[in-house]
Structure 1
Amino acid sequence: MIDISYVITVYNKADHIAPMLNALERQEGDFSREFIFVDDGSTDHSLDIIRERTKDWPNVRILEQENAGVSVATNTGGFAAKGEFIKIVDADDAMTPYASRRLLDMMRAHNLDQIAAEWKLSPDIETDSKNALETDASLDILENPLSEFFKVGMGGSTSTMIRTRAFKDVGGCDERVFVQDFSLPLRLSKKHRMACTDLLVVFGPENADGRILDAQATVIHDLSATMYYFLMDNPDISADLQRLAFKRCAGRAWKWAKRKQGKSIFSRAFYLYLLSRLPIWQQTSHLIGETMYIWKDETVRQSGSKKV
């Protein structure tokens, strides 16, 4: 079996892709690897750059699809993976040279299904990733990953490594949601073994056109949409976590409505926020769905499948 399958999703990243490819070539370690590039309907020269740069690499597959969003693209690559572990890589990020080796060692030593590490923004990801110094790192195995997600959240892509069997077991990312960073750890958190580490494994660009991190409405919408769909699919989640999810989603909606839309305390958003404070709810997916109206007139990126 291949040890690591790198799944690299690409959409119009021609101006940022070189440092990512350089960092892939610098990955240290005596492990077998494959590279799965998923071009999500790029209209620039991203695909040409990848083909030229990787023509002499072993075990490269380049998959092409019509533009459907990063969740769908991640699933395309993830379900094609043959490795024991999946290393998701965003096309505009650059990993530190030791990243794969150290994460692989942690995954195996502690029998993990997913690990999340540290990342930083940088004005020069090529230089910073290349010169990053390997350090000691702590490891925190999550006793209750599901509760952790609802209380403080989880996210990340290039900073994570996932057991391929676990990825496929949960059905990959939720393709109803554009952003893949949230739905995958949430799905894994229900019954899989997860951990986090303070090891620095990736640098992301401070400025990158089309970066999801900069699409604030999409990110906040998708975090709530992720919880909405998850609770719809998993009505057996405990009532305390159901209530916490409703409280967090209603709070996000009210904060956005107040700060970005000028809504008052007489608005529907504030009413839902007040409802979320009541300790009476047993099932809350339908209530979270009610909060999603606030994003109706905002610019929210859509996945290949319908959104809320």
Structure 2
Amino acid sequence: MSDVSFVVTLYNKAKYIPALTNSIFLQKNLGDCEYIFVDDGSTDDTLSILEQCTSSHTNIKIISQQNAGPSLATNRGISEATRPFIKFVDGDEILHPLGTSELFKAMSMLNVEMAFSHGEEIPFTSEKMRAPNLPLSKRAPTIIDKPLEVVAKTAIFNLTCLLASAKVIHDMGGCDTKVFIQDYSFALRLANNTKFAFVPSTLYWAPLEVTDRASDMGGGAQVLHDSNLAMGYFVAENPGLDPSIKALMLQRAAGRAWKWARRREGETLLSKHYYRYFWSMLSPGSGDTSERILATCQSFPARNIRFTRYSNK
């Protein structure tokens, strides 16, 4: 059995806390666990309800901070974790009772430092939201040998999907604090440090009704901007990356930015946004790849974007 630190970040999630905490405390086949909750400056009853729902349990740490955003809140939780494995949970999501132990089994079986699973969005009133012990897939976990190639193409998970060793998380520095949304910078850093195990079962559920997720900010601009920002900083941090990976990241970032500029801002083929995309396809290896990726962030208007206090705006 594994000893696990559960790291839960919350911002105005009062409605979901009873179901959230219940699903965490009902996790099966684990060892000595601790539960770290980071309230990121909620303005509703999140903190008081959280205190009520955790009052009868031990190994609880509740941290209340001024609103700083998901990346900084996640890293605050990581800094408090003392167990050898860390399981992340978003503040409105529900875990399968075996949602943690199945990930640990896959990590042990495949000798990797991280495992992730499927999730599903469903109505909050669904029976599944009561975290029943639903049947799991009979398919065996599989290994992703070259995760950076996969993650460079697309974001394959959010943090609730995964369990990882605390050592690799600490060694890689957690989330990039210069990026507001936490998921993609974390995925890139993790993919550069360990192979992934994939568990082909649905191990968590997210309520469809939630409309204030960070990924919805700015009409979707925030998550796209932050994906490009995370890529740009990641390339700068890792100058020895394979040129093919850097080229792929540049092309994905430039393509993402051009699509937004064309569809949402009405930009044309004569714009700098298209030029960046065209040049990324024609000559991906020229110039400073990190600077070229970071330049694509200009396609997302600052009026739609929130930055952290560590951002280079």
Pair 1:273-2:274 in alignment? no
3-state SS, counterpart of residue 301 of structure 1: coil
Pair 1:77-2:81 in alignment? no
Per the normalisation by structure 1, the TM-score is: 0.95
Equivalent-residue separation in structure 2 for 1:240 and 1:272 (angstroms): 18
Residue 286 of structure 1 corresponds to: 291
1:31-51 C-alpha deviation (Å, 9 max, x unpaired): 221100111111211111111
Partner AA of 1:181 in structure 2: D
* Shift in Å, 1:19: 1.5
Partner AA of 2:270 in structure 1: F
3-state SS, counterpart of residue 257 of structure 1: helix
Are the aligned partners of 2:247 and 2:285 in contact in 1 as well (CA < 8 Å)? yes
3-state SS, counterpart of residue 56 of structure 1: coil
Residue 225 of structure 2 corresponds to: 221
Q: What's the C-alpha RMSD, in Å, of the aligned pairs?
A: 1.8
Per the normalisation by structure 2, the TM-score is: 0.93
Residue 19 of structure 2 corresponds to: 19
Partner AA of 2:158 in structure 1: G
Equivalent-residue separation in structure 2 for 1:227 and 1:246 (angstroms): 8
Equivalent-residue separation in structure 2 for 1:32 and 1:126 (angstroms): 31
* Shift in Å, 1:2: 7.1
Aligned length: 308
* Shift in Å, 1:154: 3.1
Are the aligned partners of 1:69 and 1:304 in contact in 2 as well (CA < 8 Å)? no
Equivalent-residue separation in structure 2 for 1:292 and 1:100 (angstroms): 36
Equivalent-residue separation in structure 1 for 2:306 and 2:133 (angstroms): 34
1:82-107 C-alpha deviation (Å, 9 max, x unpaired): 11110001010001111112112222
1:157-182 C-alpha deviation (Å, 9 max, x unpaired): 11111110010000000011111111
Partner AA of 1:42 in structure 2: S
Residue 262 of structure 1 corresponds to: 266
3-state SS, counterpart of residue 178 of structure 1: coil
Partner AA of 1:56 in structure 2: S
Are the aligned partners of 1:72 and 1:304 in contact in 2 as well (CA < 8 Å)? no
Residue 101 of structure 2 corresponds to: 101
* Shift in Å, 1:251: 0.3
1:245-281 C-alpha deviation (Å, 9 max, x unpaired): 1111110111001100111111110111110111451
Are the aligned partners of 1:119 and 1:204 in contact in 2 as well (CA < 8 Å)? yes
Gaps of 5+ in 2: none
1:300 to 290, 302, 305: 305
Equivalent-residue separation in structure 2 for 1:81 and 1:193 (angstroms): 22
- Map 1:104-143 onto structure 2 (within 5 A): 104-124=104-124, 127-129=127-129, 130-135=131-136, 136-143=138-145
* Shift in Å, 1:125: 6.1
Residue 198 of structure 1 corresponds to: 200
1:150 to 149, 152, 158: 152
Gaps of 5+ in 1: none
Q: 1:34 to 1:2 in 2, by over 3 A?
A: farther
Residue 57 of structure 1 corresponds to: 57
Amino-acid identity (%): 33
Greater shift, 259-268 or 286-295, is seen at 286-295
Q: 1:272 to 1:30 in 2, by over 3 A?
A: closer
Are the aligned partners of 2:124 and 2:209 in contact in 1 as well (CA < 8 Å)? no
Are the aligned partners of 1:123 and 1:207 in contact in 2 as well (CA < 8 Å)? yes
Are the aligned partners of 1:154 and 1:182 in contact in 2 as well (CA < 8 Å)? no
Greater shift, 88-97 or 120-129, is seen at 120-129
Equivalent-residue separation in structure 2 for 1:294 and 1:30 (angstroms): 46
Are the aligned partners of 2:35 and 2:59 in contact in 1 as well (CA < 8 Å)? yes
